[in-house]
Amino acid sequence: MPIMSYIQAITTALREEMRRDGNVFVLGEDVGKKGGVFRATDGLYEEFGEERVLDTPLAESAIAGVGIGAAMYGMRPVAEMQFADFIMPAVNQIISEAAKMRYRSNNDWSAPITIRAPYGGGVHGALYHSQSVEAIFANQPGLKIVMPSTPYDAKGLLKAAIRDNDPVLFFEHKRAYRLLKGDVPSEDYVLPIGKSDVKREGEDITVITYGLCVHFALQAAEKLAEDGIDAHILDLRTVYPLDQESIIEAARKTGKVLLITEDNKEGSIIGEVAAIIAEHCLFDLDAPIQRLAGPDVPSMPYAPPMEKFFMMNPDKVEKAMRDLAEY
C-alpha cells in the first residue's frame, strides 16, 4: 500500500474519478495549467485537457453558479475555492440554489456538485487564509459537509462526495496537505458520508473532533497513555449532518466528553455535538461536556505569537484532555 500525503490522496481521488466518469470535471482559480496553488490538481490539466480542467476568473460566485448549473444538467463538477475564506461570494449560490434544488423542484432536479476548499490556520496565512467556515453551512438541510482528517479518509470521502447525488462541501485542512502522510490503497474505494469513525479506542475520556484536530488529539492521547489515561477518539468526518448515533455511543462510553474545533467557539459545529449529547446522555455523563475551541475573535492573527494563541495545537489538547480525565 503506497504512503501518500493528504494532498496526494486528494489528487489521486480526483484523477481516478475523472478517469472513471467522463462527466466529472474540475473548475477553479489556477486549477488548470498551474495545477492549483496547493498543487491539488497537479497533472490533471495535462491528462484531461482544458475541457475538463477549467481555469476560471476570480469570481467564486461564478465558480459555484457554473458548477451548480452543470450539475443540474447531469455533469459531476468538482469546484475548487482557492481558500475557504473566499467562499463568501458563493454562499448565495450554495445555500439558496444548490442546497435547496432537490426540495424546491420536488425531486425533479438535483445539484450533485462537490465544492472543495482548503480551510484552517497554522500556516501564517493571517485573516483571509486561515478561517474555518464550516459552521456557516452547518444548518442548511440539503448540504453535506465533509472534513477528512487522514489521507485514507480524504481519498475515500472525496470519491464518495463526487458520486453523491447532492451538493457536498469538502473542506481540506491546508496544513494537513503536506503534514499528514499515511497508507492509501491504490484501488478504488469509497467511504460513507454521514458516518463518523473511531480513530482510537479508550476507556477514560471521549474526544470528539474533526479535521486536523483529530491528529492533535491522537498525539495528545499517546502522551496521556503513558500516564495511564486512555482516550477514546471519535472523528466526525462528516460535520453536517452529524452521525448522532455514533456521537451518543462515544459519549456514553466514558461519560467524560471533550469536543475540539479550531473554529471560533460560539456557534461552532461542536456546540451542536454538545447539544446532541446533552439531549441523549444525561444519565451517562460523569463530567460537564467540555469544549476546546478557538477564541471568539474575528479571525486568526498574523503575528506568530498571536497565531499560536489562536491556533489549536497538541499541547492545548493534551492539557484539556488531562484536565477532564482528572475531573
Residue type at position 117: A
CB 58 to other proteins: min, Å: 43
Residue type at position 143: L
A 10 A CB-CB count for 141 gives: 10
Q: Which is nearer to other proteins, 108 or 282 (CB)?
A: 282
Burial pattern 303-312, b for ≥16 Cβ within 10 A else e, equals: eeeebeebbb
Give strand ranges (E) for 17-112: 24-28, 53-55, 76-80
**Three cell numbers, residue 24:** 466529472
Burial pattern 267-287, b for ≥16 Cβ within 10 A else e, equals: ebbbbbbbebbeebbeeebeb
CB burial class (10 A; 0-12, 13-18, 19+) of residue 295? exposed
Q: Which is nearer to other proteins, 55 or 323 (CB)?
A: 323
CB 316 to other proteins: min, Å: 11
**Three cell numbers, residue 168:** 457536498
Candidates 173, 104, 96, 161; CA nearest to 134 is 173
Q: Which is nearer to other proteins, 193 or 324 (CB)?
A: 324
Q: Tell me which residues touch other proteins (CB under 8 A).
A: 203-204, 254-256, 282-287, 323, 326-327
Phi–psi pair at 110, nearest 5 degrees: -145, 165
Instruction: Count helices and strands (H / E) in the chain.
Output: 13, 14
CB 323 to other proteins: min, Å: 6
**Three cell numbers, residue 82:** 482557492
CB 306 to other proteins: min, Å: 18
Q: Which is nearer to other proteins, 154 or 324 (CB)?
A: 324
Q: Which is nearer to other proteins, 55 or 284 (CB)?
A: 284
Q: Which is nearer to other proteins, 181 or 252 (CB)?
A: 252
CB 282 to other proteins: min, Å: 5
Catalytic residue among 129, 173, 215, 232: 129
DSSP state of 105: T
CB 284 to other proteins: min, Å: 5
Active site residue 129: yes
CA distance readout (Å), 79 to 114, 139, 140, 167: 6, 21, 19, 11
Residues with a known catalytic role: 129
